Chains A and B, each alone.
Chain A
Amino acid sequence: MSLATIAGHDIHLDEEGFMTEYDEWSEELAGQFAANIGIDLTDRHMEVIQFLREDYKTQGETATLRRVSTVGGIPTKELFQLFPKKPAKKMAYVAGLPKPAGCV
């Protein structure tokens, strides 16, 4: 684990760069994380991110793609457009959550 200073805040990250402290996240950080992986955050991206954060609060684990589409209501196809190639991991990274652990 490492402590990094991003946008003036001290943030805990794991070896890969995923946040480990739920409460350290902010929208500002999300913008920074997204930029790190080549994504310009739009309102639609933020809807996904907000769903993931809310869902994590109640479920205690990061939603899988299927859950984001069935419960969050954002279609799978669109998730692949918003967060190309590896949507589940990219979404989790921007949302300041651990990588999803579920298989489906």
Chain B
Amino acid sequence: MTLTMEAPVPVFDDDSTGRKIAIICSKGSLDMAYPGLVLANAALGEGIETHLFFTFWGFDIINKETMSNLHFTPVGNPATHTSPMLMGLPGMTAFATHMMKKQIDGIDVPEVPEFLEMITDSGGHLWACRMSADMMHLTEEDLYDRVEGIISASDFIELSEGAQTIFI
């Protein structure tokens, strides 16, 4: 222990405005949705400009029809440490989804819609991919209200200029 006259003050680095993060969410299963949401939330808590771009199966995360009901499919997922034969049994996806949701809730992490609300309340930006919307015949009406727009791949490239980009 040292005796100091001057107390250290944490450096919160408010002026480091340069950092920016873009997260591409391309998968819509429960286990692939959360990493993007958790990272976005963490980045926002650090004062970093954060954009989430939802594409292909990632659309399920922002599609009003599916966002509350994402699944975890244990088939072919080695992380389950269980026989692949067993994981293919009927009802296993529902069971595994139920278990995972329980675990997520158990550590007080919100469900997808509430998580997106928290992210946007923290200043995060949500974007939907134009090609995916066209393929799935979805419009802004079908998407979570706080999605700021359906944008093209080149729009995304433009807005993510200078961002650290994470693909999930």
Is A73's CB within 8 Å of the partner chain B?
Answer: no
B115 to chain A, nearest CB (A): 8
> Which residues of the other chain, A, contact B85 by a CB distance below 8 angstroms?
none
- Among residues of A, the one whose C-beta sits closest to the C-beta of B12 is A86
Q: Determine the distance from Cα of A2 to Cα of B4 in the docked complex, in whole angstroms.
A: 7
Q: Which of B39-47, B50-58, B94-102, B144-152 binds A?
A: B39-47
Q: How many residues of A contact B (CB 8 A)?
A: 34
Q: Answer whether A17 and B8 are a contact pair too, CB < 8 Å, given A1-B1, A85-B47, A86-B46.
A: yes
Query: Out of A4, A13, A75, A90, which one reaches B12, CB within 8 Å?
Result: A90
Chain A stretch 1-58: residues in CB contact (< 8 A) with chain B: 1-6, 11, 13, 15-18, 36-38
CA distance A98 to B6 in the complex (A): 20
If over half of A's interface residues share one DSSP class (helix, strand or loop), that class is named, otherwise mixed; here it is mixed
Closest to A17 in B: B8
Q: Which range holds the interface residue count of chain B?
A: 20 to 34
Q: Are A36 and B9 in contact (CB-based, < 8 A)? A: yes
Given contacts A85-B14, A104-B41, contact A4 B6 (CB under 8 A): yes
Q: A3-B1, A67-B108, A77-B121 are in contact. Are A103 and B42 (CB under 8 A)?
A: yes
Q: How far is the CA of A69 from the CA of B115 in the complex (A)?
A: 12
B1-26 Cβ-contact flags toward A at 8 Å (1 or 0): 11111111111101000000000000
Q: Does B109 contact A (CB under 8 A)?
A: yes
Flag whether B38 is at the interface (Cβ < 8 A). Answer: yes
Q: Say whether, besides A87-B45, A89-B12, A104-B41, A13 and B108 are in contact (CB < 8 Å).
A: no
Q: List 10 contacting pairs A-B, 8 Å CB cutoff, sorted by A.
A: A4-B7, A17-B8, A66-B110, A76-B118, A84-B47, A85-B14, A86-B14, A86-B47, A89-B10, A104-B38
> A-contacting residues of B (Cβ < 8 Å)?
1-12, 14, 38, 41-42, 45-47, 107-110, 118, 121-123
